[in-house]
Structure 1
Amino acid sequence: MRFKGPGQVKSMLCNYAVANGYQLCFEKNDRTRLLVRCSKGACTFRLWASWMSDEESFQIKSLKADHNCARNFKFGSLVTYAWIGSHYTKEIVESQKISVRKLRLKVMAKFGIQVSMGQCRRAKKYALKLVEGNLVEHYGKLWSYGHEILRTNPGSTVKLDMEDGPDGKKYFSKFYCCFQGVKQGWIEGCRRVIGLDGCFLKGVCKGELLCAIGRDANDKIYPIAWAVVNVENKQNWKWFLELLIDDLHLNLGNGFSLMSDQHKGLIEAVKELLPYVEHRLWQLNGYGCAHSVASISFLNRDVEAYVDNMFSTTTFTKAYNYRIAPMNSSDMWPETNYTPPLPPINRRMPGRPTTKRKKSTTENTGTHRVSKAGKKIRCSICKEIGHNKATCPQRRPQKLNVKKQKKQKVCVNQNAGQGSTSEPQQHEEVEMTPIEMDTTQNDMQVALTDVESSSAGDFIQYVQFTPPRSYEGDEGVMGEEADVVEEAVVVEQEVEEVNPNAQVDNGNVQEVAPVNQVQQVCVRPISDILKRIRRRKSERILKLKLGKTIGGVDDPGNSKGKALVID
């Protein structure tokens, strides 16, 4: 076996030892020779390699490959950080934020060997340094690459743009290339349709690849020009279109059509540089082919004479009549005196950076539940497939959540004129309907009536009844009594005559003249009362608490101790 040098042989032996679980020891290790034995002295493995005298190659001259020792995956100094970095260079470069702990687990899972955190940390730095060193070398050859294109393909267009960094050095910014053979082939043999688009570059150096694509006579893709920029915006698209217009002689865009993804920066650049180009929707003018063929045949003329020359074989061959000359390898490119550009500065992307990669549709998302993707649901109402009960067309309309009006208790003292007694008062339950109270006798009579039956001169109040509440410490009060809150607006209150000689004794009305007046209390729904209170927030809300009888005796809220007496 021939090798380039001893380093290549040692790398091969390290891979062999890790794959088979052997511990090797380099007894002689220099630039001219290499002697390798197994670390255990009783093992018979031995390898000798040195340079050949008649040719420039490093070869293995003797080998005893048999081992009589047990396997052991503790390799010591055989597995170094350089070996780890060379095996995981691609993964480290693609995801530079990979943690050292995760890299250590990857090495353990793949090779079954234990490595330290320090080795993994140095391996990560080693891999990034390898790539970055190559990038500096590769970007430094861009000037030579452009001159090589112009030397082998005269008439081509190559543009390289650099920008000044914060440290004063020159960094790569933009690069444009259009070969002369492609340029002439599109002008002479392709349709006047150009497609513009850009895609992301997801390697070590991020950026955007801008492309201009045409269509030949056979409706196939025809690349025209390409460019590498740092970001897709109006400024870069304008720079790309200016060079493309000069190469293809587009002028102001008369007779040309553009197809694109309608990027905002691209639309603005096209409006400025190509105001007359078609860059919207397709516009079909004239008649269809079937109608035209029928009309031409009716006139006894040749249909092929009316076909555009763009679809002929002659035009198709013109598109590929020009060639792109091959170039020499990079070690033969001409040297230039220009300042070599450095790799582009990594631009910080907007938003919070993600730490997890994007998983494919076939991978497990990490949830503990089975995915319902593709599962057909069945409605529990109509038993049909394709919807559930929430969107079922046969679902009954929802009932309005209207609460029924609760019955309120009105407690009325049946023996108001006989003084207080030790027996509890009787309570009657009535609904929120007008109540007629006859005050012509000492014993009050309670009866239900309609509002329409009240005559002129009645005493009308709109009140709201609340649940009964007991008052402690009031003399002569037996049991629970109704706590009534009256709204601050009295709709109608008409009293013809009031006896001024009426007196109040211990809550009982004395010398009440008999009158033919009837006092009515009309109950209004609480919703109307709340509306009135909202409309008249600035008004004073009057709260009245009726005592033993409605409208006749002492009231806890009556601070002056006056009684409402009807004569």
Structure 2
Amino acid sequence: MNEMPFNEATGEISDNDEDSDRLPSDGDSSGDEEEGQKKTSKRKWKKTNFKQFRKEIDLRNPKFRIGMQFANKDELEEAIREYAIVQGRNVELVKNDNKRIQAKCAGHTKCPFILFASKIDINEQTFAIKTLSLEHECTRVDKLKYTNSRVDKLKYTNSSGCPKGLLTRLGKIPKWDVGAFKAEVLEKYHINVSKHQIYKAKNLSKVIIEGSYVEQYARLWDSTEELKKTNKGSTVIIKNKMKGNVSVFERIYVCLEACKRGFLAGCRPLIGIDGCHLKGPYTWQVLTIVGVDGNNGLYPVSYAVVEVESKSSWLWFLELLIEDLKIENGKAWVFMSDKQKGLIPAIETLLPTAEHRMCVRHLYSNFRT
């Protein structure tokens, strides 16, 4: 056992002359007077004498020791979680707040394993291990559970408890074979995982790497204001709808000032219209407007994201476009499309005198199929 008791009230570690890993005292110089003071007093915590936890290296196989420092609480929790996976132990955080963390073996009250860490200073975020015993009397288990008094949702053997390093690799290698990933987990962590857990881990890896769709949609209004601020004169409009008592996102229209000005200054009066489906959990559709420049190149003008491709959504999109481009005489403009659902009646309603042509490539493709 490698244990050194820590006094939470005083923030000090008790003296133990028999411990080979004891902390250095405030004064180790020779002299009977100093030696007597050392035996009768407790040594205060000195953060400069301890090893700093290196996340990039030590997290692969955490090896704790008395005095080891962690940059913040989250880093310490992640190290404990990784330790439990590697060692195959059920770990429970019996104390977990902004000042201290205490971890013990869950389900085995007599197991001597204990890890206690707290802040080294009230004004700092750094945590340090004050009490440590790495001995286990419990046996290794295949199904690990990690319980946390603050966040009780981490289970090591399912997707939410999969090590972040493996999740990152899984997300970067989308075609990683299920068998190969299972063998990797078995070799590194000695844990058998099912195919279902691997598929769940893959979905979670996308959230870690790409971010949560819910969180990103929640920032949409902030992004709108930022676009207006950094692109003066741009048109960015969000339309919401009421779902019960909550206002939720329905549509967005974006036309940047530079694209608008460039189209009016150097492009032909020809507007190409198309739509496509969005991939992901929210199956909205993207409506796009492109022009043709003097070199016969495509020129982006504006786009919108709508809930469904219909006459009402096309009317909403085209009304904003007509206002941005200041289209008054429909006879001077030509529209080209692929007979999208609701688009033809929308153009006939807003610009009945404009010429509307169909894309030959799409017509040819439709005839072939």
- Tell me if 1:200 matches 2:303: no
Change (3 A) 1:38 1:220: farther
Change (3 A) 1:214 1:35: same
- 1:51 matched residue in structure 2: 119
CA distance in 2, matches of 1:38, 1:168: 46
CA distance in 2, matches of 1:149, 1:227: 15
Q: How many residues align?
A: 252
TM-score, length basis structure 2: 0.52
- 1:6 matched residue in structure 2: 73
CA distance in 2, matches of 1:29, 1:264: 56
Change (3 A) 1:114 1:85: closer
- Tell me if 1:179 matches 2:256: yes
- Tell me if 1:279 matches 2:357: yes
CA RMSD, 1 decimal: 4.8
Alignment of 1:108-257 (within 5 A): 112=191, 142-165=220-243, 167-257=244-334
Choose the corresponding residue for 1:33, options 71, 87, 100. Answer: 100
| SS class of match (1:9) | helix
CA distance in 2, matches of 1:154, 1:279: 34
Once the two structures are TM-superposed, the CA of residue 44 in structure 1 deviates from its matched residue by 9.8
Once the two structures are TM-superposed, the CA of residue 186 in structure 1 deviates from its matched residue by 1.6
Choose the corresponding residue for 2:88, options 7, 14, 21. Answer: 21
- Tell me if 1:72 matches 2:149: no
- 2:168 matched residue in structure 1: none
1:482-502 deviations in Å (ceiling 9; x for gaps): xxxxxxxxxxxxxxxxxxxxx
Alignment of 1:58-457 (within 5 A): 58-61=126-129, 72-74=140-142, 77-78=145-146, 81-83=153-155, 84=158, 86=160, 112=191, 142-165=220-243, 167-274=244-351, 275-280=353-358
Q: Is the 8 A contact 2:95 2:103 kept in 1?
A: yes
Change (3 A) 1:21 1:144: closer
Q: Is the 8 A contact 1:234 1:268 kept in 2?
A: yes
Once the two structures are TM-superposed, the CA of residue 147 in structure 1 deviates from its matched residue by 3.7
Give 1 or 2 for the bigger CA radius of gyration: 1
- 1:548 matched residue in structure 2: none
* Structure (1/2) with the larger helix percentage: 2
1:326-361 deviations in Å (ceiling 9; x for gaps): xxxxxxxxxxxxxxxxxxxxxxxxxxxxxxxxxxxx
1:72-112 deviations in Å (ceiling 9; x for gaps): 23455426644457459xxxxxxxxxxxxxxxxx9999674
CA distance in 2, matches of 1:254, 1:63: 83
Q: Is the 8 A contact 2:314 2:342 kept in 1?
A: yes
Gaps of 5+ in 2: 1-52, 55-69, 163-180, 195-200, 202-211, 361-369
Change (3 A) 1:4 1:267: farther
Once the two structures are TM-superposed, the CA of residue 233 in structure 1 deviates from its matched residue by 0.7
CA distance in 2, matches of 1:238, 1:31: 54
Gaps of 5+ in 1: 89-105, 116-122, 124-133, 283-567
| SS class of match (2:357) | coil
CA distance in 1, matches of 2:86, 2:183: 13
Q: Is the 8 A contact 1:18 1:73 kept in 2?
A: no
Once the two structures are TM-superposed, the CA of residue 243 in structure 1 deviates from its matched residue by 0.9
Between the two proteins, what is the percent identity of the paired residues? 32
Q: Is the 8 A contact 2:111 2:138 kept in 1?
A: no
